[in-house]
Amino acid sequence: MIEYIVCAAIHYDDGEKYAHQPKNIEQGIVICGKGHHNCIATLAGLKGRDNYDRGKLVPKSQGFLTSFDRFVSRKEGYIIALNAKQIKPRIPNKELDEFLGLIENGETNILTSEDLYEKIPSLYSEDIYGTI
């Protein structure tokens, strides 16, 4: 069986131990969602927006949850998604990658949640009902 990316995830390490975390996480909690922004919103909702805004809840790292129940970095996630044929290889373009925020610690081949999902065009009510 091949490992693949299930969803975006953020590891918050508060020094506590929690049940049912990815098998490679010994402490802290991993929040999952379709995109990293969903993970942030979930934690802020659970722990209170005030805690998040004041910097009390700082992520250890952003990454992904895999089908093998592992939390992986954006770099390892890119390799896993590529091998699982979830994404196509990205042609490195340093200027564009910097602009889009696709460089992490000097690495250009990192996975973003947007890489995983088909681009859906914007839908407006006028598309459904026509213009009046």
Whole-number pLDDT of residue 70: 98
| Segment 38-69, tens digit of pLDDT | 888 888 787 766 655 555 567 788 999 999 99
In this prediction, the residues of the chain whose per-residue pLDDT falls under 70 are 48-57, 90-108, 118-132
Whole-number pLDDT of residue 71: 98
- For residue 121, give both structure tokens: 């065009």
Predicted TM-score of the model (pTM)? 0.74
DSSP 14-31: -S---SS--TT--SSEEE
- The closest alpha carbon to 116, from 63, 39, 70, belongs to 63
For 73, the enclosing helix (H) or strand (E) is strand 71-73
